[in-house]
């Protein structure tokens, strides 16, 4: 059963008016997080530049084509840009966590080493995630984890983690150049972006389309823990508004925040509703998870047929569905919840209905021709 369209999926979002002379730089402006942020900035009247290799899809964003992982290219392309607010929403996955630390830590260090001496930067926002509490991919959900709901002041885990490296580079640059900062720890970001490496909604949408075309059931691929427990999610628009709130609220400067939708979901309740919206027959999990990477191993020919039949805009299934990432979210055998008290008591009131937002997001991907129609 689809959610009635008359119901809103989020609380009213205030306009985050730019301070005098504000110039925002979105680092990673074509990603799921950066794209939503660029849209919100433009809608709120900010002068906005987007740093990315490909041009941003948001009208009004001034494109800065630069290689984040080349100090020389950053020095050349950012010379004289003089942004006042910098939003770092990009990272690059490497084969090992040691490489993640080296590459992604250097990205933040080099970026701020170029921008800091310009003297214009007032605030830098860094987007990370709940691997801050769960550990990196190589040790994900293992060892002695903090209690849920996760609190921002939890001690760091005794393992390498590129989120820690990025934070440390941010803190050092802020101390050296005198700007304020905020850290935004999101959980399973969902939003609209094509080609994003970690996006639950088009992944499940593609899964539903493929099993429907194959005459199979829409089987929950994850663990019994995730099926029966409660979990939270972060809507990309909620994350965008949270970054703007922190960047325009001096009282909360130099603070790390969790940011999720504000509600919780239980997959055993949401899965049948999502299945109905996708036009497929739902099935619960097996005793042993059936990962999407396993279920979808030979699905490219079916996707090719759907692309030809419906004129879909992205023929490369790997740019629509990220089986591995959704498997990591849905297959966890630990409870994952983030506490939002720090934001709430400081005045952030954003709230999103995860179920309604997910179903409407499916429809947006359909309208854009990324997913086939119902």
Structure tokens given for 62? 């001034």
Phi, psi for residue 76 in degrees, rounded to 5: -70, -50
CB 56 within 8 A of CB 63: yes
- CA-CA distances (angstroms) from residue 211 to 7, 208, 286, 358? 29, 5, 17, 19
Q: What is the DSSP letter of 36?
A: H
Q: Is 365 a catalytic residue?
A: no
Q: Which residue has the tokens 């005459």?
A: 215
Task: Give the up-direction half-sphere exposure of residue 229: CA atoms within 13 A in the CB hemisphere.
Answer: 17
Phi, psi for residue 2 in degrees, rounded to 5: -75, 150
Structure tokens given for 126? 């860094």
Q: Is 351 a catalytic residue?
A: no
- In three-state form (DSSP H/G/I as H, E/B as E, the rest C), the secondary structure along 101-149 is HHHHHHHHHHHHHHHHHHCCCCEEEEEEECHHHHCCHHHCCCCCCCCCC
Does the N-terminal peptide bond of residue 316 adopt cis geometry, omega within 30 degrees of 0? no
Instruction: Tell me which of 77, 133, 163, 207 is the catalytic residue.
Output: 163
CB 233 within 8 A of CB 265: yes
Catalytic residues: 131, 163
């Amino acid at each position: 059963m689809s959610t009635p369209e008359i119901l809103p999926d989020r609380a009213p979002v205030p306009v985050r008016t730019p301070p005098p002379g504000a110039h925002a730089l979105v680092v990673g402006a074509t990603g799921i997080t950066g794209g939503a942020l660029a849209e919100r900035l433009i809608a709120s009247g900010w002068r906005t530049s987007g740093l990315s290799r490909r041009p941003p899809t948001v009208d009004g964003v001034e494109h800065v084509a630069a290689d984040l992982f080349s100090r020389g290219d950053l020095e050349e392309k950012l010379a004289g840009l003089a942004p006042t607010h910098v939003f770092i929403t990009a990272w690059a996955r490497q084969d090992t966590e040691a490489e993640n630390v080296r590459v992604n830590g250097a990205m933040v260090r080099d970026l701020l080493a170029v921008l800091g001496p310009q003297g214009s930067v007032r605030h830098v926002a860094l987007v990370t995630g709940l691997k801050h509490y769960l550990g990196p991919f190589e040790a994900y959900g293992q060892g002695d984890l903090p209690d849920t709901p996760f609190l921002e002041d939890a001690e760091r885990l005794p393992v390498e983690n590129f989120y820690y490296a990025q934070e440390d580079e941010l803190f050092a640059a802020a101390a050296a150049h005198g700007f304020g900062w905020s850290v935004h720890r999101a959980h399973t970001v969902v939003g609209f972006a094509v080609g994003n490496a970690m996006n639950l909604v088009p992944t499940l949408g593609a899964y539903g389309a493929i099993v429907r075309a194959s005459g199979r059931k829409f089987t929950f691929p994850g663990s019994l823990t995730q099926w029966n427990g409660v979990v939270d999610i972060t809507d990309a628009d909620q994350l965008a508004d949270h970054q703007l709130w922190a960047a325009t609220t001096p009282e909360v400067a130099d603070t790390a925040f969790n940011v999720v939708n504000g509600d919780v979901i239980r997959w055993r309740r949401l899965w049948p509703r999502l299945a109905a919206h996708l036009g497929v027959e739902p099935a619960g999990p097996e005793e042993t998870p059936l990962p999407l990477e396993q279920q979808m191993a030979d699905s490219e020919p079916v996707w090719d047929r759907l692309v030809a039949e419906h004129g879909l805009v992205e023929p490369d299934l790997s740019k629509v569905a990220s089986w591995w990432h959704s498997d990591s979210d849905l297959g966890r055998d630990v409870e994952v919840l983030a506490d939002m008290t720090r934001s709430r008591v400081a005045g952030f009131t954003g709230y999103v209905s995860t179920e309604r937002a997910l179903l409407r997001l499916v429809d947006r991907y359909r309208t854009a021709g990324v997913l086939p129609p119902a």
